[in-house]
Amino acid sequence: MSRKLIDKARARLQAECGGEAKPWGGRLRIALVYPNTYHQAMSNLGFLSVHHWINLRDDALCERFFLPDPEDLAEHIKSGYPLFSLESGQFLADFDVVAFSIPFENDYLHLPTLFELGRIPLFAAERKESHPLILCGGICAFLNPEPLAGIMDLFAVGEGEVILPPLLEALVAGEPTRADLLRRLAAVPGVYVPSLYQVDYHADGTLASIRPEGGAPPRVPRQWMADLDGTQSRSFILTPDTEFSDMALTEISRGCSRGCRFCAAGYLYLPPRERSLANLLPQIEAGLCERGKVGLVSAAVADHSQFEEISAAILAREGKISVASLRIDSLGEAEVAALHASGHRTVALAPEAGSQRMRDLINKGLDEEQILHAVDLLAGGGIPNLKLYFLIGLPTEEMADIEEMLELTVAIRERWIAHGKKAGHLGNITLSVNPFIPKPFTPFQWAPMEKGSSLEKKVRRIRSVIARLPNTTVFFESLRSATLQAFLSRGDRRIGETLPHLAAGKNLNAACRAVGLDPSFYVHRQRGEDELFPWEVLDSGVERDYLWREYRRGIEGVFTPRCTPSCRRCGVCG
């Protein structure tokens, strides 16, 4: 036993508001694991919502697990004390089901540590009947599950509100053996059981076929909630120990109609759906009972048809509003006024690309005049600081496009400074520049990621120019981290063998050498039009032919109007 670890967990639990532990006995016991720290996990609405929905059932209980903080990890190793749940202190291996909620690929590297601390073998083939069933959910589960196919027993493909009820019914019913249970679970819509699929490869390493067995479907269709008003998704548990500790988060919509060709979330959460004001008001009021600020969560907050009414309702209840970023072409004076009234000192905009050619390529649907107009609205509305998101390394990008990005930044800064001088205060502009990563189920899934040497040249040029601009700073995502993310998001089931090596501290090249793989095969290779992708064991709901046409239209610089994907089950897209 480690008194230090137990005391810290109890202190965290006592500081929370909204959580409640259920008694053990006579219930399906589910361990919900977030593969990062408590601080990160407790701002994740998907994680919090799944925990809440499971605990609404009388026949199941759900308790939380997290990656230990660095000092706690050292204590686990020193004391030999296994990973235990926050609610009751039960060990991970004592649960019936261990469910991972994974929103980011780079968190895969924490899985070997979590399995070791939980006293459970990492790979499914090494586990016995006595071990818990291992489930994976979250966006990574329906973006590309294959890198974890050798680890997870099953994946929840899609949105939890739809998948959880039949999945839990099947788990509660049970079967005599693990194999029997997995075959039964494979019949549940949206459940992918990788052990029931045989994968074959061509001599060149590309995928030849994915063959289902034991009655498993040829492809597993993504599940989605048609009417969001049927549930709530908010900060059911509030804690001071998280990034958004001063606010209660509420999801106001899901999906996006914009059709940006690089954006996985924009395609995986089709069709776009909204929560009504009637659905949101009780959630807002519940949040304002505990916090003075409501964080509105959406891919496109200002696109909500009742955004002004939502904002007015929060302000009328003497609350404040927080948003992560705003759409440039849907920004209006009312939205800016609401943010200013809420004390926002920084607002983020995402031009994504500096040149018109690149904005057309990604289907952003913006021109420089619209970007500068949004800058004027924010600066004129009293917002002192601005954050700008840009991508580099997009398909066909040249140094001339980088120069145009820098020219746009200078033009934005000139507008910002001019407004600041009138107001008597010069705010700051921050650029966040990230390498483009081609993601599954997007039009750019065929494209390669640009190589590091070329990206480094662009980074140096951007850094040298921005360094000469007062009140302007730039931050870059690690190129090494971005390359690793590309490897993990685009890989097949063979790359799962690299995870223990990566978790042990080896770099990507060394980890791949250890298992006989070439990282460039997954990261920097142009895919052929007809190549079968590992993630196509899933059916996202958007036709492959449509994605290919969008890829070609992007290369040609042709704009596709918003909300037109040929989504077979989408009531919005034609």
Instruction: Quick: pLDDT tens for 64-91.
Output: 999 999 999 999 999 999 999 999 999 9
pLDDT top residue among 243 and 499: 499
Least confident range from 138-142, 183-187, 338-342: namely: 338-342
Place 572 in a pLDDT band, splitting at 50, 70 and 90: very low
What's the count of helices (H) and strands (E) in the chain, helices before strands?
21, 19
pLDDT in the model for residue 20: 81
Instruction: Quick: pLDDT tens for 515-553.
Output: 999 999 999 999 999 999 999 999 999 999 999 999 999
pLDDT in the model for residue 241: 95
Kindly report the pTM of this predicted structure: 0.95
Tell me the pLDDT of the chain averaged across its residues: 94
Instruction: Quick: pLDDT tens for 343-395.
Output: 999 999 999 999 999 999 999 999 999 999 999 999 999 999 999 999 999 99
pLDDT in the model for residue 564: 44
Alpha helices (runs of H) in 16-101, residue ranges in sequence order: 38-41, 45-55, 70-79
**Residue in this structure with the two tokens 């060990």, named with its chain if needed:** 91
**CATH architecture group of domain 246-490+541-555:** Alpha-Beta Barrel (3.20)
The burial of 441, by beta-carbon neighbours within 10 Å (0-12 exposed, 13-18 middle, 19 or more buried), is given as: buried
Measure the CA–CA gap between 430 and 53, rounded to whole angstroms: 39
The burial of 343, by beta-carbon neighbours within 10 Å (0-12 exposed, 13-18 middle, 19 or more buried), is given as: exposed
Which residue, 325, 316, 370, 317, is CA-closest to 344?
325
Which neighbouring-strand residues pair with 248? 294
Strand bridging mode 133-137 / 154-156: parallel
150: left (phi over 0), alpha (psi -120 to 50) or beta: alpha
pLDDT surpasses 50 at 568: no
pLDDT surpasses 70 at 566: no
Ordered by start, the domain boundaries in the chain are 3-221, 246-490+541-555
pLDDT in the model for residue 425: 85
Alpha helices (runs of H) in 433-558, residue ranges in sequence order: 452-466, 479-490, 499-503, 508-515, 519-523, 544-555
Q: What is the mean pLDDT of residues 30-57?
A: 97
* DSSP assigned state of 132: P
pLDDT in the model for residue 563: 56
Which neighbouring-strand residues pair with 135? 99, 154
Instruction: Quick: pLDDT tens for 453-482.
Output: 999 999 999 999 999 999 999 999 999 999
The helix/strand/coil state of 254 is: strand
* DSSP assigned state of 438: -
Angle between helix axes 277-288 and 307-316 (nearest 10 degrees) is 30
Which residue, 395, 390, 539, is CA-closest to 465?
390
Q: Using a pLDDT cut of 70, give the percent of the chain over it.
A: 98
pLDDT surpasses 90 at 25: no
Q: Which amino acid is at 263?
A: C
* DSSP assigned state of 325: -
pLDDT surpasses 70 at 191: yes
The burial of 278, by beta-carbon neighbours within 10 Å (0-12 exposed, 13-18 middle, 19 or more buried), is given as: exposed
